[in-house]
Structure 1
Amino acid sequence: MSTQTIAPPAARHGPGRGARLALAALAAGVLALALLASGLLAPSARGAVPPVPGWNLVWSDDFDGPARSLPSSANWQIDIGHNYPGGPANWGTGERQRYTDSPDNLSLDGNGNLRITPLRDSAGNWTSGRIETRRADFKAPAGGVLRIESRLQMPNVTGDAALGYWPAFWALGSPYRGNYWNWPAIGEFDVMENVNGLNSVWGVLHCGVNPGGDCNETQGLGASRACPGSTCQSAFHTYRFEWDRSVTPNELRWYVDDQLFHRLTQSRFSAGTWSNMTEHAGYFILLNVAMGGAFPDGVAGFATPTSATVPGRSMLVDYVAVWTRGGSGGPTDPPTSNTLHLNSGGTLGGAGSPGTVTLASAGGVNRDGTPYQPQTFTASGVTGRYNGGATRFDLQVDAGTTVANGQQVRVSYDRTGDGSWDRVETYHYFATDPVPGFEHYTEARGLKSATGGLGDMANGRVRVEVWNAIGNGPSTLGVGDRSVVRIPFD
């Protein structure tokens, strides 16, 4: 969408040069204000991601770059079409738009903002933009806090003209990548949602099973409030989510402009529900503007575009940033060795403090080959040359006095960090004895299955999942300096 200003012909007689310049400046100011109010002219971003005393910035993007360029491919991947390949149609919510990588729908604006713009063609078809972080390991460190934040302006449109607009800033559990049917168990944190141009921000948690369950699906557990001061649509506001593992019980918190408006505690959820949404590698972050679909809230109802809906109103994103505070683990620097220790907090890297984590019972069901409530450990930013070898591991496991328990491991390689697992190795499970004390589960058990191939790693990822494949009781996995995976890269 573009605007043109056509200059009138020069007047033969009229005010002097100074007066004409003053009138021109006034007209330009009026035009700028009108464009700003309509959302066609973006206000400038505030600049770099602001420092937050006491917090460690682990990842950010402030969307600097030339106008109409796509967001950084090192930070983001662009979703295309009406669904993930093999996933639910219409992104699982009945959305009407087709996501594209066209700069008309998705691009930097040259003023330090990302612009996501829904458009409608002459046939009534909608297009828009959706991106997600390449990293999928954003997780609260053990004993610490995770903070996910964005400063953004919702599409500046209200009333009938806004019907169907559904902007969102949110995060999904990493196991969703490649398996698009495990929602909502893997967790979803909706940091900011809005629908139909209402002056309100919703913060919502999705978890458990659908329908019903601990999160009352498909509605989820949410709260909403008006944006402080200026409306959500007319100005930038800062939206934040915190996952706090420094308190007991753990807490999840939602803020707008530093004002808390939603809080949930771990004690509200069953152990299985909490484990499924927190004891995996972490989360990836998404930004999008949908058009139409079942907004999962009983008050706002459906987002349904009509003939009165006005296209071309953008969501503007100044920055997205992730911080941690305190604790150990969480997103880490890339490993510098091919010996990766399984550490508390779900990380792979240098040896941490010795400890243990619990592997959930298989519940008497045969889970051979299929991870079930696994303990997941991930390393990101892995770069190395494939040396022609094979994966090796030594995991310390113990089933105590439980009879007929067996632990299993799956090791996966994403060679380029693009979110796809190029090599997946599942090993035969290890039957532990019913005598207390750690035993060594190694690659000597042999491969049960393998897909894809190994090769050089360039800013890639390694994931290790450990679970109980058989048995009717929990097991213990040693972490820190107790369990290692050696990857075949120099």
Structure 2
Amino acid sequence: MSTSRISRLSRTPVTALTALAVTLTGLLALGPAGPASADVPSAPGWNLQWSDDFTGPDRSLPSSANWQIDTGHGYPGGPANWGTGEIQNYTNSPDNVRLDGSGNLRITPLRDGAGNWTSARIETHRADFKAPAGGTLRIEGRIQMPNVTGDAALGYWPAFWALGAPYRGNYWNWPGIGEFDIMENVNGLNSVWGVLHCGVNPGGPCNETSGLGASRTCPGASCQSAFHTYRFEWDRSASPNALRWYVDDQLYHSVNQNQLDAATWANMTEHAGYFILLNVAIGGAFPDALAGRTPTAATVPGRPMLVDYVAVWTRGGGTTPPPTDPPPSGSSQLYLRGAGAAGDATGSGATVTLASAGGANHDGTPHSPQVFTSGPVTRAYNGGSTQFDLFVDAGTTVANGQQVRVSYDRTGDGTWDRTETYNYFATDPVPGYEHYTQARGLRSATGTHGDLTNGRVRIEVWNAIGNGGSTLGIGNQSSVRIPFG
């Protein structure tokens, strides 16, 4: 089990890691996998939602339509050293990240003459990978870990993982938004770790910063010497819901909904979804915990992680319409309603008009907004973050962008103690509603959260750019989930 790459350095424990590196025996051993596949494999009974098989010329970068490349030592405004103490500088150089011309992505850590390490980390643009209501999500990759072992591997930390969409633009709401580590490995050990991170840090229901995890040896050939298939499933088809981890189709770890409290489960599942990451870190809390300070002078650079494909499937379920009945009393889900109210859903949908920006730029500053207010509200802050799903449409208007600001008055005294403005959402010029969610990321935030005591919540929606009006669905169509229990 890992110490998460998002955890605070001052809270990095080394306990329980060794105990979780337990080898599971007695399972069917499979032979080593072959070289890169020609295509993403079929998965009978599953519907392919997204994939990349990394086909392209040698030294070309991964598809910019699918991936964004992280650079430096952390997100702007986020934890230093990516929150884990890893020492490498991530770059977009083909020396560190490239297609190899043979159907693989290569992420290669390198060390220069002065001892400085570079490597690469990429993440999907899409941040909406989520199990459908009543169905199952499957995220899978066929990967060969860096082929290095022993002292030469000390400090290597390859990973294939997913983070909750609300992390984008915030960078301080981990672990509440959820993290699924589909494949992790450190120090060239012949083991794969699968880990869930959730709740609060430190401690909490997921034992942070360590998380809830398990490990096992790779079937047949070692993790380092051959490709293996690593799969994660999020199953909402049965009660309780379940999370499952596999290597080469062999189940080795699971967590079900009943193991966590309802609020923790909701915070990591009831948002827009997840984005997928691939990286090779050098050093940091997890490799250090198992081997002391890493890397060492014996660590050998230049051993790449190879990725044949990454794919996302779903099975069963479907698109669930917004609820038409009021949520239970005390729900944190606020629906936008007529007459400027926010509260329980009404029985049917309606619309309001967002005034044109008039060709001006109102990014970050409400311009003739539609305003919805809820209160008085007395609730305890649960440590999470604001989530929303707004139904918006600009018809055939080109380049319209809707924007939302959510403000919290903790005591009802007229002072907005916490104000969050999210990046605007550019609707397409095709009639039909689209979902604007917190996955667009925070543009700015002021103040701090705290318990609400006869407090108020204000939601403002306006057109930030463009030269035409837009439509906002209300009633049972657009909602904001506030982080209060």
Aligned to 1:324: 314
- What is the correspondence of 1:254-269 to structure 2 with a 5 Å cutoff? 254-269=245-260
Shift of 1:484: 2.9
The residue type paired with residue 463 of structure 1 is T
1:64 aligns with 2:55: yes
1:120 is aligned, of 96, 104, 111, to 111
Secondary structure at 2:213 match in 1: strand
CA offset digits 1:345-393 (Å, max 9, x no partner): xxxxxx5674665686569xxxxxxxxxxx9xxxxxxxxxx88598998
Separation in structure 2 between the aligned mates of residue 201 and residue 458 of structure 1, nearest angstrom: 46
CA offset digits 1:7-36 (Å, max 9, x no partner): xxxxxxxxxxxxxxxxxxxxxxxxxxxxxx
CA offset digits 1:62-108 (Å, max 9, x no partner): 00000000000000000000000000000000001000000000000
Q: RMSD in angstroms over aligned alpha carbons?
A: 3.9
Q: 1:271 to 1:74 in 2, by over 3 A?
A: same
Separation in structure 1 between the aligned mates of residue 179 and residue 329 of structure 2, nearest angstrom: 23
The residue type paired with residue 279 of structure 2 is N
TM-score (norm 1): 0.67
Aligned to 1:280: 271
Contact 2:390–2:478 (Cα < 8 Å) also in 1: no
The residue type paired with residue 312 of structure 1 is G
1:308 aligns with 2:298: yes
Q: 1:354 to 1:301 in 2, by over 3 A?
A: farther
Shift of 1:47: 1.3
Aligned identity (percent) is: 65
Q: 1:302 to 1:261 in 2, by over 3 A?
A: farther
Query: Which structure is richer in relative contact order (CA contacts within 8 A, separation 6 or more)?
Result: 2
Separation in structure 2 between the aligned mates of residue 171 and residue 302 of structure 1, nearest angstrom: 27
CA offset digits 1:414-448 (Å, max 9, x no partner): 99xxxxxx864126789xxxxxxxxxxxxxxxxx8
- What is the correspondence of 1:352-431 to structure 2 with a 5 Å cutoff? 354=324, 404-405=376-377, 424-426=403-405
Separation in structure 2 between the aligned mates of residue 454 and residue 265 of structure 1, nearest angstrom: 35
Aligned to 2:464: none
Shift of 1:296: 8.0
Separation in structure 2 between the aligned mates of residue 177 and residue 464 of structure 1, nearest angstrom: 9
| Residue-pair matches, total | 368
The residue type paired with residue 259 of structure 1 is Q
Secondary structure at 1:91 match in 2: helix
- What is the correspondence of 1:174-213 to structure 2 with a 5 Å cutoff? 174-213=165-204
Contact 1:413–1:462 (Cα < 8 Å) also in 2: yes
Q: 1:482 to 1:275 in 2, by over 3 A?
A: same
Q: 1:391 to 1:45 in 2, by over 3 A?
A: farther
The residue type paired with residue 314 of structure 1 is P
Aligned to 1:140: 131
Secondary structure at 2:57 match in 1: coil
Contact 1:176–1:182 (Cα < 8 Å) also in 2: yes
2:437 is aligned, of 451, 463, 482, to 463
- What is the correspondence of 1:162-177 to structure 2 with a 5 Å cutoff? 162-177=153-168
Shift of 1:165: 0.3
Contact 2:156–2:280 (Cα < 8 Å) also in 1: yes
Separation in structure 2 between the aligned mates of residue 324 and residue 216 of structure 1, nearest angstrom: 29
Separation in structure 2 between the aligned mates of residue 276 and residue 170 of structure 1, nearest angstrom: 18
Aligned to 1:440: none
The residue type paired with residue 103 of structure 1 is P
- What is the correspondence of 1:207-286 to structure 2 with a 5 Å cutoff? 207-286=198-277
Aligned to 2:83: 92
Separation in structure 2 between the aligned mates of residue 296 and residue 270 of structure 1, nearest angstrom: 30
Larger of the two Rg values belongs to structure: 1
1:483 is aligned, of 456, 460, 476, to 476
The residue type paired with residue 484 of structure 1 is Q
Separation in structure 1 between the aligned mates of residue 286 and residue 369 of structure 2, nearest angstrom: 46
Contact 1:156–1:234 (Cα < 8 Å) also in 2: yes
Separation in structure 2 between the aligned mates of residue 227 and residue 132 of structure 1, nearest angstrom: 25
- What is the correspondence of 1:333-348 to structure 2 with a 5 Å cutoff? 344=320
Separation in structure 2 between the aligned mates of residue 61 and residue 303 of structure 1, nearest angstrom: 36
Separation in structure 1 between the aligned mates of residue 387 and residue 180 of structure 2, nearest angstrom: 28
Shift of 1:153: 0.2
Contact 1:166–1:303 (Cα < 8 Å) also in 2: no
TM-score (norm 2): 0.67
1:108 aligns with 2:87: no
